[in-house]
Amino acid sequence: MTVKLTVENALQAKQEIETLESQGYSKDHIHIFAHFKERADDINDALDTKDVGLKEQGLLDSMKNIFTSRGDELRNKMEATGLSKEEAAAAEMELDKGKLVIIAHKPQE
């Protein structure tokens, strides 16, 4: 099951992450997205959450993101966590407004 939340700042993100953890989501499967990569990296580091990587995306999609725009990269990563194309596009519009998007998913067993 994939959960998508939108928050205004890192403090709200921290609160939502604590709630997600209490619901059984692992920090290894909680991802915080921000429009600017540096902001996303700083928040992921501070809250001990993970960036979407090879495990979620696969090698080919990860390599493709090197040559795409930040918006395309974000949508690709959000789709890799379980969002549909439409959900990822809507989430990216929230990022354009300066908000943070949190996506949590439970791995397939």
Q: What is the average pLDDT across 90-107?
A: 92
Q: Which has the minimum average pLDDT: 3-17, 55-69, 74-88?
A: 55-69
pLDDT in tens, 20-55: 999 999 988 899 999 988 888 888 888 888 766 545
**pLDDT for 58:** 56
Cα–Cα distance, 91 to 59 (Å, whole number): 24
Residue 81: per-residue pLDDT: 87
Confidence at residue 34, expressed as pLDDT on a 0 to 100 scale? 93
- Residue-averaged pLDDT of the chain: 85
**Residue located via tokens 């998508």:** 4
Res 69 pLDDT > 70: yes
